[in-house]
Amino acid sequence: MPARRPEGPPPPPAVVRLRLRFTKRGRARFLSQLDIARTFERGLRRARVPMAYSAGFSPHPKVSWCGGTQTGIASEAEYVELALTADVDLEALRAALDAALPPGLDVTGCAVAAGGPLASRIEASRWRIRFPGVPVADLTAAVTALLARERVEVERTTKDGRRTIDVRGAVICAVCRAESHDCAILEMVVRHTTPAVRPDDVLTALGVVAVSPLTFPVPPEPTRLEQGLIRADGTLADPLLAALAES
């Protein structure tokens, strides 16, 4: 008996791929990655974006995600790629989709995708973590101790069970400064690894290496500032700017 096939013509093919940068701020940081994906699909329909769809009995829009942050963590630089069936005005699409998404999910850039798949354009993140109630001297001592080690391992439960993660090997650079007399700031560049080294892994590692106990009176506040390829000077090349330069 021949295999069933969906009725009707196949969906129109994709003619262009776009790369978008968006934020995850305020209450939106508590959305899971699945929630964000569903919210984006609704926003794409409201904005009437000419999406390309997969074939089969359950067509879905061709959307590619890469390296979303944990639930509860803010970000200024999340990325997604869309496959479209028609060329569009990039700024008009950005504005329309931004207006169709809830506050906090703000579309801040759009470009034609170039330079290979999105995942190949991202190898590290730059983070800023606020430490309310922590003097900068205490945080600096712990970060100095972390950077002085060749390896600092922590354990984390993943979907594949307990994993040991080398936090020090992923931290490319880290700098501390004082926001106020009782609020320290840590800025760091962390290489993307498998499994990923997350901000809470870094906090665990700082507690392991700190000579004096490092306590957090208030939960630290991490924000991802950038993602991209690592330049020779340690800065990151924005995947969106790379797409603009190569398109």
Q: Which two tokens mark 19? A: 């790369």
Q: Collect the ranges in the chain with pLDDT lower than 70.
A: 1-8, 242-247
129 and 225 part of one domain: yes
pLDDT of residue 114: 85
pLDDT of residue 199: 95
- pLDDT (tens digit per residue) in 18-65: 999 999 999 999 999 999 999 999 999 999 999 999 887 788 899 999
β-pairing verdict for 74-84 and 63-66: antiparallel
Q: Which two tokens mark 228? A: 């991209």
pLDDT of residue 59: 85
Q: pTM to 2 decimals?
A: 0.90
- Identify the CATH number of the domain in which residue 149 sits: 3.30.70
> Is 105 buried (19+), middle (13-18) or exposed (0-12) by CB count in 10 A?
buried
What is the number of domains present in the chain?
2
Residues in Cβ contact with 6 at an 8 Å cutoff, skipping those fewer than 6 apart: 55, 56, 57
- Identify the CATH number of the domain in which residue 42 sits: 3.30.70.580
Residue 247 placed within a domain: no
pLDDT of residue 51: 97
39 and 133 part of one domain: no
220 and 190 part of one domain: yes
Structural domain containing residue 26: 16-113
